[in-house]
Structure 1
Amino acid sequence: MARAQGARAQMALAFETTYGTPPASGFTKMPFASTTLGAEQPLQTSELLGYGRDPQAPIKDAVTADGNVVVPIDAEAFGFWLKAAFGAPTTTGADAPYTHEFRSGSWALPSFSVETAMPEVPRFAMYAGCMVDSLNWQMARSGLLTATASIVAQGEAIATTSAAGSPTNIALKRFGHFNGAITRNGLSIGNVVSADLTYANNLDRIETIRADGKIDGADPSIAALTGNVVVRFADQTLVTQAINGDACELEFSYTLPTGESLTLTAHAVYLPRPRIEISGPQGVQATFDWQAASDPVVGRMCTVTLTNDREDY
């Protein structure tokens, strides 16, 4: 008997025309490192009395379908997750390379279907009505560069054959931490040890009464772009900004030697006043837990620009 192995698992994604209805075609094979995406349905313990000490049969509760997908930040496939998180991009370029600009604040976020496959069992799980609740990644000096997409789905359907057909393959071109840079108001920030950023749609699940126990949808509420920057304390620039309550523009970017690039620009970032601790003889570090807000000039909170050879998303 074949046993399930993560090394043989596959994932395919396609955007939906109708929420909760997987498309018949158009799936793309997605690279991923791990996933907790799944559906669960807890049991409600019987509260009835008069039947002795042994309880009566439990009752099924509502279905919850959600989880995280850890994906590589690459030059092409990552654009699908950006579209799911921010909405459809504005694409420019008459020929390759193309520039895809994703903007925060869209009320119309696309839903998509994801199929996770374990062919050796066989088990093919289709998650329909998926939407990205948040997208998070860290910047560091070394290691593998990945992002975590937190997903809210409507439900799960299990089958013994794939409903995704033959998904389109993507040529993988990964960004690495070595390709990263951080700037403040257009100038490089020195002494940065690490950085963390999270874009959240703060989805509001529409939990109506249904015979199948699924949700009716998920509406985006007030978005948030937050994170932190850990720096070796060398000057007062960031502390002064925090004390004065001023905003700055932070830009987190990656560029490959072949020309592909990814840039997230937070247009109006506010810094809290940090505690500066001297914990020993080593270098002194300061952590700034920043928050972004809508910039009155640009008219939005952030812009993500992806440059690659893909014509559209």
Structure 2
Amino acid sequence: MARAQGARARMALAFETIYGTPPASGFSRMPFASTTLGVEQPLLNSELLGYGRDPLAPVKDAVTADGDVVVPIDAQAFGFWLKAAFGAPTTTGTAPGPFTHTFQSGSWTLPSMAIETGMPEVPRYALYSGAVLDQLTWQMQRSGLLTATARLVAQGETINTTSQAGTPAELDLIRFGHFNGAIKRNGTALGNVISTEITYANNLDRIETIRADGMIDGADPSIAALTGRTEVRFADSTLVTQAINGAPCELEFSYTLISGESLTFTAHAVYLPRPRLEISGPQGVQASFDWQAARDATLGRMCTAVLINDVEDY
């Protein structure tokens, strides 16, 4: 009897034309490290009396479909998650490439996805429809594997014994690493940074209408948020002075490969809180800035992501 193993699991993704309706084709095989995407339907205990001490049968509650997917930040597949976070990009370039994909925050319409996770040895193929990206988080640091966590809200799950994704398109896995990362402040390299965590949230509003199947009607984006936490060695007063003055700055987080692929994420108006500077011992003094970004009045948006690769279209 075959047993499910994570090493044999697979994932395929395609964007939907109609929310909650998986397309018949157009799936791409997606690299991932782990996932908690799934469906829960809790049971409600019976409150009725008069039948003795033993309880009556429970009643099913509403369906909740959501979870996280941990994915590598790479030069090709990560563009699908950026599209899910910001909407379709503006793409420039001619075949055979390179192509420049520019994603901008502020869109009121986000694409929904159909995501299939498969365990072929069971066999079990779970197809999640109406999946919308709620949050995208990653961390920049000196070493380790570079991954991002995509938090999703889906409408429902369909279990099949065969794949509904057909033959997914294969993507080249060209990973960025922490070694390829750089941080700039107002166009100048920002030094003494130990680590930075970046979180972009669409703050989805679940449309929980009354339905016979217990699923949601949709997930609409509300006011977005771009926040982060930056740990620095306290070597100068540049950031502290900015925090005291209350003026914004532009922060640029980028990864560049020798082969030409790159990812640049720019927060155009970042505000820093005034940190507490503690001297906790003989070692170096560190400062933590829990920053937040806002809409830049000149550009009319909060952030921009630019991905350069040889993928013609997302």
Q: Give the TM-score category using the shorter length.
A: over 0.9
The one-character-per-residue Cα deviations of 1:70-107 (angstroms, maximum 9, x if unpaired) are 00000000000000000000001123100000000100
Percent identity, aligned pairs only, is: 78
Could you tell me how far 1:68 is from its partner in structure 2?
0.1
Question: 1-side partners of 2:92 and 2:299: how far apart?
Answer: 19
Q: How does 1:136-175 map to 2 (within 5 A)?
A: 136-175=137-176
Matching residue of 1:280 = 281
Question: 2-side partners of 1:190 and 1:85: how far apart?
Answer: 29
Amino acid at match of 1:37: L
Matching residue of 1:188 = 189
Amino acid at match of 1:168: A
Amino acid at match of 1:196: E
Matching residue of 1:56 = 56
Question: 2-side partners of 1:311 and 1:26: how far apart?
Answer: 15
Question: 1-side partners of 2:3 and 2:209: how far apart?
Answer: 38
Could you tell me how far 1:12 is from its partner in structure 2?
0.1
Matching residue of 2:24 = 24
Q: TM-score, normalised by structure 2?
A: 0.99
Question: 1-side partners of 2:192 and 2:248: how far apart?
Answer: 20
Asked if residue 12 in structure 1 is aligned to residue 39 in structure 2, the reply is no
Q: Give SS of 1:81's match.
A: helix
Amino acid at match of 1:98: F
Q: Give SS of 1:305's match.
A: strand
Matching residue of 1:114 = 115
Asked if residue 262 in structure 1 is aligned to residue 255 in structure 2, the reply is no
Q: How does 1:68-79 map to 2 (within 5 A)?
A: 68-79=68-79
Matching residue of 1:44 = 44
Matching residue of 1:236 = 237
Question: 2-side partners of 1:64 and 1:264: how far apart?
Answer: 32
Question: 2-side partners of 1:296 and 1:80: how far apart?
Answer: 28
Amino acid at match of 1:146: T
Question: 2-side partners of 1:230 and 1:189: how far apart?
Answer: 12
Unaligned 5+ segments in structure 1 are none
The one-character-per-residue Cα deviations of 1:52-81 (angstroms, maximum 9, x if unpaired) are 000000000000000000000000000000
Q: Give SS of 1:11's match.
A: strand
Unaligned 5+ segments in structure 2 are none
- Tell me which moved more, 91-100 or 29-38: 91-100
Amino acid at match of 1:289: D
Matching residue of 1:90 = 90
Question: 1-side partners of 2:290 and 2:232: how far apart?
Answer: 11
Amino acid at match of 2:58: P
Asked if residue 291 in structure 1 is aligned to residue 282 in structure 2, the reply is no
Question: 2-side partners of 1:301 and 1:166: how far apart?
Answer: 38
Q: CA RMSD in A?
A: 0.4
Q: How does 1:189-208 map to 2 (within 5 A)?
A: 189-208=190-209
Amino acid at match of 2:47: E
Question: 2-side partners of 1:160 and 1:266: how far apart?
Answer: 44
Q: Give SS of 1:82's match.
A: helix
Question: 2-side partners of 1:75 and 1:201: how far apart?
Answer: 23
Question: 2-side partners of 1:301 and 1:171: how far apart?
Answer: 31
Could you tell me how far 1:4 is from its partner in structure 2?
0.1
Amino acid at match of 1:142: S
Q: Give SS of 1:164's match.
A: coil
Could you tell me how far 1:228 is from its partner in structure 2?
1.1
Question: 2-side partners of 1:286 and 1:206: how far apart?
Answer: 41
Question: 2-side partners of 1:183 and 1:27: how far apart?
Answer: 36
Q: TM-score, normalised by structure 1?
A: 1.00
Amino acid at match of 2:91: T
Could you tell me how far 1:17 is from its partner in structure 2?
0.5
